[in-house]
Amino acid sequence: MSAAHTSATRGPARRSIAITAGALGAALALSACTAPERGPDSSADWELTAQTAEPSGDIDSYTWANYAEPYSLDYAYAFDYADNQVLANVCESLLRLNPDFTLSPGLAEAFDHPTPETWVYTIREGVTFHDGTPLTANDVVVSMSRHLDPAVGSSWYSVYQHVASIEQTGDREVTVTMTQPDSQFNLAMGGSAGVIESAATLAETGADYGNSTGGVNCTGPFSFGEWKSGESITLERYDGYWDDSLRAKSGEVEFLFMTDANARVNALKSGEVDGGWMLPMDAVPQLQASGSGEVAFGLNSAVASFIVSDLEGPLADVRVRQALLMALDREGVVDAALAGFGDVTNALTTESVWVGASESGLDTAFGGLEEYPYDLDAAKQLAEEAGATGQEIVIATAPIAQEFAVTSQALAAAAQSIGLKATIETITPNAYTALFSDPSAREGIDLFFTSWYLSSPDPLEMYSVLRPGEFSNYGNWDNPEFTAIVNEAIAIEDPAERSEKSAEAQRIANAELPWLPLYASPVTVFQGERITGVAPSIAYLYYPWAATIGAR
């Protein structure tokens, strides 16, 4: 799901932001290094890396820079980059989302789909929580049921919207019954929506669960150690971890909250901090030249876009949305905001999430899309035809990263160049995060930036949130044909067949522009001189990546 994540992340509730909305910012099976995925006019060279060098051995501890303090480690609210990159190493889901964006068994050693409306999960034996108690089917039922509780207000409720019941149907068996066929439910079980916590811990900690006081008690390779509010979170290796292949190679990991991008980069360059995700793209050349470690680029599922949050004002006419995109020099934005480490895109999804798609589905989804080339004369004509000249739009931004400043200023300039009046409203990072969850925070705002990542290997996660009534349909866009296609696709189990319908939805979104797609960029990660072993991939939000890092 998108984690809209503060970042500007994805999904159901607050997923998009902080750094991209949080940060920033693909074929599937990547070998150790693939050929550079760059356009002919790109100004930067980069290659995708599936796996960095294996560690020489274990390490006592290492430090990791996190661009913000997590909102919560409660899996029901972990909907952004800062939260999930920590939680992924402590808590586990029924399925495991791997770095190549495929799904494999997790806490459920198997699953079955006996009828279109039922999913049956066989719970793995021999797994213990960090307090030593065994994982049971009841823990699974209680953990999943929280998403249905209005008092919890889960950010992942949309995953569960078609769930009629969650029941223990055997000693190690849990059955989820749906009100209608929903292919997306099981696909989401590799993310936070599928996390399993101790039922006893949930009852004992109550309102303190997932915060700095209550912590969490899960099954991952690291256990929750200490949360110093405003400073850091420390994780400790769990020696009783069930999966030997992902036994933690470090005794301890300390996540440092570093909200200042320059300070973060300087700490990485100096060796004060050992590593970090989501590097400021303009600082990548500095880090590459520093000699203090290595930068790696990985598979991403995020697309940077402007969300159109008001479709009743000047942007109600699709011609104005088209004009804005055509007046925006997106190649220039990539160079200015990302130092060239990215590619312009006209789709709201990356190919990395079209797992199992048919060749014809991919051709339809990405071939022949409207490209919206930079064409100021054509853009002016569209705006004039729509009668938009002189109308005002408001663009929200925040002092989060250079990407925010560059994209908002570029969009404002584009608007003015076609005769609109554009105002940039700068708000605090916390207020920016609220744009993704609080309708009142979006009042008076026409557009805001997001780097919206998907949390499952299917493009319908993106397009399902653009249906009427969905939490993340921020502009209340309503296209009946689009909605009917998405609803039909969700009920199709076969990914190849489903991709044919998803492609139709992508083409409609490309033509109607409920969000304005800008570019896609790779995941970035830095590993200092002391450490190695990470698999660079957006799956770090759900996969226990910190466990694979050891001594260089």
CB distance 205 to 188 below 8 Å: no
Report the distance separating Cα 400 and Cα 404, nearest Å. 7
Give the model's pLDDT for residue 261: 86
C-alpha closest to that of 454 among 406, 502, 513, 395: 502
Instruction: Specify the residue for token string 């199992």.
Output: 356
pLDDT over 70 for what percent of the chain?
92
- DSSP label at residue 456: S
- Residue 345: pLDDT band by 50, 70, 90 thresholds? very high
DSSP assignment of 494-551: -HHHHHHHHHHHHHHHHHH-SEEEEEE--EEEEEETTEE----BGGGGTS-GGGG-EE
374 backbone φψ class: left, alpha, beta (φ>0; ψ -120 to 50): beta
For 356-366, the pLDDT digits (tens) are 999 999 999 99
Q: Are the C-beta atoms of residues 80 and 17 closer than 8 Å to each other?
A: yes
The two tokens of residue 56 are 């020489």
SS3 for 81? helix
pLDDT, mean of residues 178-193:
96
CB-CB contact of 278 with 524 (8 Å): yes
Tell me the domains of the chain and their CATH numbers.
103-201 (3.90.76.10)
Specify whether the CB–CB gap between 412 and 420 falls below 8 A: no
Distance of CA 40 to the CA centre of its chain: 28
Weakest-pLDDT range from 49-58, 378-387, 399-408, 484-493: 399-408
Find which of 22-31, 41-50, 152-161, 195-204 is predicted with most confidence, using mean pLDDT. 195-204
Sign of CA dihedral 172, 121, 202, 235: positive
Collapsing DSSP states into helix, strand and coil, what is residue 484?
A: helix
Helix residue spans in 210-294 (DSSP H): 261-270, 284-289
Average pLDDT over residues 395-420: 94
Write out 335-386 in H/E/C secondary structure.
Answer: HHHHCCCCEECCCCCCHHHCCCCCHHHHHHHHCCCCCCCCCHHHHHHHHHHC
Nearest CA among 340, 359, 348 for reference residue 301 = 348
pLDDT value at position 43? 55
Cα separation, 108 vs 241, whole angstroms: 15
* Beta-carbon contacts of residue 430 (< 8 Å; ≥ 6 apart): none
What is the band of 431 on the pLDDT scale with cuts at 50, 70, 90?
A: confident
**Alpha-carbon distances, residue 281 vs 17, 297, 433 (angstroms):** 16, 11, 21
Written as six digits, the tokens of 278 are: 């989501």
Average pLDDT, the chain: 90
pLDDT tens-digit readout, 451-466: 999 989 999 999 999 9
User: What token pair was written down for 121?
Assistant: 């999960």
Query: Is there a contact between 425 and 280 (Cβ–Cβ < 8 Å)?
Result: no
pLDDT at 81 (0 to 100) = 87
pLDDT above 90: residue 182: yes
DSSP letter at 194?
Answer: G
pTM: 0.86
Q: What angle do CA 158, 162, 168 make, to 5 degrees?
A: 105
**DSSP 8-state class, residue 213:** T
pLDDT value of residue 19: 28
Strand 523-528 with 275-277, pairing: antiparallel
Could you identify the residue written with the tokens 């996540």? 255
Mean of pLDDT values over 435-449: 93
225 to 89, 188, 239, 302, 505: CA distances (angstroms):
12, 28, 14, 31, 45
Taking residues 13-20, what's their average pLDDT?
Answer: 30
pLDDT computed for residue 27 by the predictor: 24
| Beta-ladder partners of 293 | 528
Kindly state the tokens that stand for 216. 């969490």
Question: Is the pLDDT score of 112 beyond 90?
Answer: yes
Q: Determine the average pLDDT of the residues in 427-453.
A: 90
Amino acid occupying residue 248: A
* pLDDT tens by residue, 297-338: 999 999 999 999 999 999 999 999 999 999 999 999 999 999
Q: How confident is the model at residue 429 (pLDDT cuts 50, 70, 90)?
A: confident
The amino acid present at 150, given as its one-letter code, is P
Say whether pLDDT at 477 is over 70: yes
